[in-house]
Amino acid sequence: MAKPAILTVDDDPAVSRSVARDLRRQYGEEYRIVRADSGQEALDTLKELKLRGEQVAVLLADYRMPGMNGLQFLEAAMDLFPRARRVLLTAYADTDAAIQAINIVDLDHYLLKPWHPPEEKLYPVIDAMLEAWKTAPDRPIPDVKIVGHRWSAPSFRVRDFLARNMVSYRWFTTDDAEGQRLLAAAGVTGTDVPLVITPEGKTLVAPSEAELAVHVGLTTTPAADFYDLVVVGGGPAGLGAAVYGASEGLRTVLLEERATGGQAGQSSRIENYLGFPDGVSGAQLTDRARRQAIKFGAELLTACRVTKLAVQGSARVLHFEDGTTVAAHSVILATGVSYRRLGAPGLADFHGRGVYYGSASTEAPSCTDQDVYIVGGANSAGQAAMFFSRYARRVHLIIRAPGLETSMSQYLIEQISAVPNIEVHPCTEVTAAHGDEHLERIELRPVDGGPSRTVDASWLFIFIGAEPRTDWLDGVVERDDRGFVLTGPDLLTGESRPQGWQLARDPYHLECSVPGVFAAGDVRADSVKRVASAVGEGAMAVSLVHRYLVEGQ
């Protein structure tokens, strides 16, 4: 963390150097002394400090400066650092102006020039200013800062991307005083949001996820052109494959389009995973697995959208959205599944503005003492209901089935029944959504076709169905009619092997219709949709990769 700053501004270079010298001699060990030669230069410096999240303790400004005098500078500086103590340097003839400044800019003190000896006339004043500032200093904000509209879908996407990638940030709305100061410091209007400010003070206006990833320190490009193993997807299966692949000596790179963890990474608590009797959050499990993979030497890339798989001799080539490629001897497909969109009228209009797919845990504090509606009856929906029940006034779990028993683990059913502010609505569906700036109401209807009712709702979280992310494999890898990847025995029809299969052997158990390409986890047809099975398949796929590299080509 940088030292707090004491900034002095005077258009007379000799005076400016003199006051900076005296300040540095007395306060240089604890504070950074910053000098400017004009009001505008000083204001620009303050803007940079603001964007970097640094603190300013005291401002000393000469009254008589051309272009922007000391009063004008201090008044503008208040918008950026309202708690910084303000001192005006004046000549004897300007004392009336200094007295007026007490009312105009809430001046803390004025000093007559010259201030020598500083031990008598300067330091006691600055000591008092620093002591007052320390009682209520500006809070340092070294994290990424985001400024946006409360009900802005792009702002939500930025916050969700950073949260899921374990990048700490601070969120300010355009209505917050601090948010307005940051917009002013960056020279951005309230319409040009979200504004993202990195810890180094770099400003990004409505950045793409790829641009954002680069500027917050995430790795987005591979270090090499060729690997032993490329893992596509960073959920439990992909992370498991990366850990086992790298630990067994394979040059391994994992490609993730958005954030490692997949759907499991969004889970508030997983309680039936082996080795965690007290449960573990998806974020914690993901973070541990990610660190473990990196420890063994795997590369983990974020914001890498793969658009094509091609076979070039013994190489398997993956094409990225930006036109670049990476190749490997083998590939493990672990792209998981995404939540199916609910097609009720109006829902698409409020995506990111009250309607969310997945838990969107970043929104939980905003749900305090409000009603939350959750659609879905599987474990992910149940875990979300338990999580939001800690914040919401009431959680409404909307399911089409008569009960939870057919789709949810028994331990979750028991937990839900014991929480008084969770209410299950069986045989019910959401049929419409309404609102202006954000979601305000939803329509609920019995699945048997009875009359619908409208309820006030600002928060709707949807956990229904599962759709594989495999369109980019079209024409290369065989899939079933729902898009899930076929592997091993499922590729065999009687005595026939997959079309184009040229090896003398049958496909290995997790191998796809392209030799050297494997599938693990939820993306694989007929897989068990559980975290433990996904991790196991990722490890098993690596063992088959070894076998392929040694004897199967």
Residue 343 lies in a domain: no
Whole-angstrom Cα Rg for the chain: 30
Q: What share of the chain is helix, strand, coil (3-state, %, to 5)?
A: 35, 25, 40
Place of tokens 């922007």: 68
Of the candidates 361, 345, 545, the residue with the CA atom closest to the CA atom of residue 445: 345
Residue 221 lies in a domain: no
Place of tokens 């102006």: 97
Which pLDDT belongs to residue 278?
A: 78
Strands 371-375 and 460-462, sheet pairing: parallel
Residue 304 and residue 320 in contact, taking contact as beta carbons nearer than 8 Å: yes
Same domain membership, residue 95 and residue 35: yes
Residue 261 lies in a domain: yes
- Last residue of some domain: 175, 193, 215? 215
Same domain membership, residue 471 and residue 457: no
* Tokens matching residue 116: 């020598």
Residues with Cβ within 8 Å of residue 208, at least 6 apart in sequence: none
Q: Which domain holds residue 362?
A: 348-462
Same domain membership, residue 163 and residue 61: no
CA 259 to each of CA 64, 256, 288: distance values in angstroms, whole numbers, following the listed order? 54, 6, 14
Same domain membership, residue 490 and residue 391: no
Which pLDDT belongs to residue 364?
A: 81
Same domain membership, residue 314 and residue 210: no
Q: How many residues does the chain have?
A: 553
Q: Supply the pTM of this predicted model.
A: 0.78
- Last residue of some domain: 416, 434, 462? 462
Q: What is the C-alpha to C-alpha distance for residues 85 and 123, in angstroms, rounded to an integer? A: 14
Q: SS3 sequence, 205-227?
A: ECCCHHHHHHHCCCCCCCCCCEE
Which pLDDT belongs to residue 95?
A: 62
Same domain membership, residue 330 and residue 479: yes
- Last residue of some domain: 462, 497, 515? 462
CA dihedral (425, 428, 434, 437) positive or negative = positive
Of the candidates 545, 535, 536, 540, the residue with the CA atom closest to the CA atom of residue 234: 535
Residue 517 lies in a domain: yes
Report the domain count for the chain. 4
Q: pLDDT tens string for the chain (553 positions)?
A: 689 999 999 999 888 999 999 999 999 999 999 999 999 999 999 999 999 889 999 999 998 888 898 888 988 898 889 889 999 888 765 666 666 666 666 778 888 877 888 898 899 999 989 988 988 665 555 679 999 998 899 999 998 898 888 888 889 999 999 999 999 999 998 888 999 999 888 999 999 999 999 999 899 999 999 999 999 999 999 999 999 999 999 999 999 999 998 888 878 788 888 888 878 888 889 988 998 999 999 999 999 999 999 999 999 999 999 999 999 999 999 999 988 899 999 999 999 999 999 877 778 888 989 999 999 999 999 999 999 998 999 999 999 999 999 889 999 999 999 999 999 999 999 999 999 999 999 999 999 988 999 999 999 999 997 789 899 999 999 999 999 999 999 999 877 888 889 898 999 999 999 999 999 999 999 998 889 999 999 999 999 999 999 986 5
Same domain membership, residue 487 and residue 451: no
Same domain membership, residue 474 and residue 423: no
Residue 316 lies in a domain: yes
Same domain membership, residue 102 and residue 183: no
Phi first, then psi, for residue 410 (nearest 5°) are -60, -35
Residue 251 lies in a domain: yes
CA 180 to each of CA 52, 79, 191, 547: distance values in angstroms, whole numbers, following the listed order? 16, 9, 12, 59
Same domain membership, residue 286 and residue 207: no
Same domain membership, residue 189 and residue 230: no
Q: What is the C-alpha to C-alpha distance for residues 537 and 528, in angstroms, rounded to an integer? A: 10
Strands 439-446 and 453-456, sheet pairing: antiparallel
Which pLDDT belongs to residue 96?
A: 63
User: What CATH number has the domain bearing residue 166?
Assistant: 3.40.30.10
Most distant pair of Cα atoms in the chain: their distance: 104
Residue 220 lies in a domain: no
CA 535 to each of CA 292, 322, 359, 518: distance values in angstroms, whole numbers, following the listed order? 13, 30, 22, 14
User: What CATH number has the domain bearing residue 367?
Assistant: 3.50.50.60
Same domain membership, residue 395 and residue 320: no
Residue 104 lies in a domain: yes
User: What CATH number has the domain bearing residue 19?
Assistant: 3.40.50.2300
